[in-house]
Amino acid sequence: MRIVLLCIMALLLGSPALAGESLVLGYGGGALSLGSLKVLKEAYGRIGVQVRGKRLPAARSLEMAEDGLVDGEVNRIKTIEEQYPHLIRIDVPVNLLEGVVLTCNTRMEHVSPEAIRDLHLGIKIGNRYAEMLTDGMPSVTKLPQEKKLMALLLEGRLDALLVDRAWAEAEMAKPGMGCLRINEPPLVVVPLYHYLNRRHAALAPLITGELRAMRQCGEIDRILGLDKSP
C-alpha cells in the first residue's frame, strides 16, 4: 500500500509549470539506452517537459552534450563528469549496465580482467566502462559501431567483445547468431545516470525529485520490464 501511495503522490506532485519546454538528449540507440529514454520521457513529462532522443555515436554524443549542442545524455556511468565538467549528473540511477564478454564458438571458464587481458578484444569507442576496463591491455580494437565489431568477431578476427548485456542479448536473438555466447559472470555491473548540460541546472532538482519518487515506488523497474510482481 505504501508503494502505491508513493506512486500516486509522484503523479499528483508533477508540476506543469515548465509546460512547453523541450530537451534533446543524446543516446546510443541500443536496448539499454532506449529503456532509459522511456524512463526519462515519463519523468520529464510529469514536470511538463518534452524529451526527444537524438541517436549519435557514443563519443560524439558526449562531446555534443558537453558543448551544449544537445541538452544532455540519456544514460552514462558515474565518472564521466570528471572529463566533461559542463555535464551535471542527476544522482538517481535510471538503469543498470552489465558489461559482458561476448564470444563466438568459444566459452570462457573464468571471467575477470586478468582472464581477458591477452585476448584480442573489441570495444565501442565512447563506451567509457569498456575503455577504462581495457586501458593498458595489449590488443584492443576500438571502433565507433558495434555492428562492425560483431562482423570482426564472426569472422574470427577478434576473440571477444566487451559489450553491454542488453545489446548482446538482442544480437543473440537474431537469426544465424547461434555461435554467440555470453560468458558469466558479468565483468562489471554499474548504475547508469542521466546527465544535463549545466545550462539546464535549474531543471536538475526537479527531475531528481521525480526520478527519486519513481525509483522508490518501483515505476522505473516497471518501465524497464524489471518488475516481476504479478
Spatial distance between the Cα atoms of 94 and 36, rounded to a whole number of angstroms? 6
**What is the CB-side half-sphere exposure of residue 74 using CA atoms within 13 A?**
30
The pLDDT, as a whole number, for residue 19 is: 56
Side by side, the strands of the sheet bearing 87-104 are 49-55, 21-27, 72-76, 180-197, 87-104, 160-164, 121-124, 140-143
Per-residue pLDDT tens listing for the chain (230 residues): 454 444 645 444 444 445 568 999 999 888 899 999 999 999 999 999 999 999 999 899 999 999 999 999 999 999 899 999 999 999 999 999 999 999 999 999 999 999 999 999 999 998 999 999 999 999 999 999 899 999 999 999 999 999 999 999 999 999 999 999 999 999 999 999 999 999 999 999 999 999 999 999 999 999 998 865 55
Cα angle: 7, vertex 8, 14; to 5 degrees: 90
The pLDDT, as a whole number, for residue 172 is: 97
Whether the CB-CB separation of 151 and 176 falls below 8 Å is answered with no
Helix, coil or strand: residue 166? helix
**Domains of the chain, with CATH numbers?**
2-95+192-224 (3.40.190.10), 97-189 (3.40.190.10)
Whether the CB-CB separation of 214 and 43 falls below 8 Å is answered with yes
Residue identified by cell 569507442 is 125
Spatial distance between the Cα atoms of 209 and 37, rounded to a whole number of angstroms? 17
Spatial distance between the Cα atoms of 214 and 167, rounded to a whole number of angstroms? 25
Spatial distance between the Cα atoms of 79 and 176, rounded to a whole number of angstroms? 37
The pLDDT, as a whole number, for residue 229 is: 57
Spatial distance between the Cα atoms of 186 and 83, rounded to a whole number of angstroms? 26
Spatial distance between the Cα atoms of 80 and 119, rounded to a whole number of angstroms? 26
Q: What is the pTM of this model?
A: 0.83
What is the DSSP code string of 82-139?
A: GT-TTEEEEEEEEEEEEEEEEEES---S--SHHHHTTS-EEEETT-HHHHHHTTT-S-
The pLDDT, as a whole number, for residue 30 is: 86
The pLDDT, as a whole number, for residue 21 is: 86
Residue identified by cell 541546472 is 201
